[in-house]
Amino acid sequence: MSLLRRVPDLASLELLLAVAERGSLGKAAKQLGMTQSAASARVRAMEQQIGVGLVERSFNGSRLTPAGALVAGWAGPFLEHAASLDAGIDSLRARRDNRLCVTASLTIAEYLLPPWLVVLRQERPGTAIALSVDNSRAAAEKVLAGEAHVGFIEGSTVPPGLDATVIATDRLVVVTAPHHPWARRRASVTAQELARTPLIMREQGSGTRQVLARALAAHGGPETPSLELASTAAVKAAAVSGAGPAVMSSLSVQDDVRAQRLVVVTVDAVDLTRTLRAVWPTGQRLQGPAADLLAIARRSA
C-alpha cells in the first residue's frame, strides 16, 4: 500500500483528464456530475498528494501544467485498464445474477417451492435455476459447502454456520389407513402410546424425524421405526397400504385424507408444529435471484 501513496484515486484522475479535454474546470465538473467547488477541492487534494501543481486557472478557463499533462498521459492507460476491470467485474456479476442453485427438503420442494419458482421465472425470465432435493440435514450441508445459494429446511434448530429466517410453520399429523385400529377408535392416542409404537418414519436427518424425536423425547420415544424410508411418497404409500401409522406433514396428505385413503389420528399432549426456514451461510447476504426467491417465499407462505 505504501508504494501507491502518491497515486490519486480513479475519480480524481478522471477529473484531470476531463479538464485537459474540456479546457475548463467547471465544464469538467459538470461532465462528471459534481459541483465546481467539489472539483476544485479534489484538484487541490490531488496536488497535495502528488506534491506538484497540476492545473492552472485563469479567467479564460483552466489548463494542465506541464506536470499535470504528464500525469494525465500516464493516467490515460491506467483508466483504460480500470474500465476493462470494471467491465469484467460487471460480467461476473451478471453471470452470478443469472444463475441460482437452490436446495430444499422434500416437503418444501414438493408442496411449496414449485409455485415460488414459477413466480421467480416470471420476475427474472433469464435466470437458470438448479434445484436439488434432500432431507433437511443434507440441504443444510450443501449450503454450508457453497453448493447452493440458498436452502429451505424443516426442523427444530438451525445448523451451526447458517443464518436463517422463518418463512412458514407446518404441522405434522399422525395418519393411518382407514382399517387400522387407531382410525376407528373414539379416544385420542396418548403421547405415551405414540412414543411406544413403531412408526413408519423418514430417515435420520429429515426435518420430520427431528421434530418427532424432540416432541416424544419426554415420553421415552420415539420407538424404533417399523419402516424407515427416504422419501415422503414412500412413507405415504406404506401408510396407505396398511403397514402402520406414519407421521407426515399435513401438506403432504391433504389429497389422501380427502379421498379417504388415509385418516388423521388425534393425538393428545404432543406438539407436532414445525418451523420452515430459509438458510444461507452466516455473515453473507442473499443477493440477486436468491434474495428475490426469499422475498417470494415470504409473500407466498
Helix (H) or strand (E) holding 130: strand 128-134
CB atoms within 10 A of CB 205: 18
The pLDDT value given to residue 62 = 86
The pLDDT value given to residue 195 = 95
The model scores a pTM over 0.85: no
> Domains (ranges, CATH) in the chain?
2-95 (1.10.10.10), 99-155+282-300 (3.40.190.10), 169-274 (3.40.190.290)
Q: What is the b/e burial string over 126-149, where b = at least 16 CB atoms within 10 angstroms of the residue's CB?
A: ebeeeeebbbbbbbbbbbbeeebb
- Whether the ω angle into residue 198 lies within 30 degrees of 0, i.e. cis, is no
The pLDDT value given to residue 88 = 66
In the chain, which residues have pLDDT < 70?
A: 1-4, 87-97
Q: What is the dihedral of CA 157, 160, 164, 167, to 10 degrees?
A: -30
pLDDT in tens, 152-174: 999 888 999 999 999 999 999 99
Helix (H) or strand (E) holding 168: strand 162-176
pLDDT in tens, 11-26: 888 998 888 888 888 8
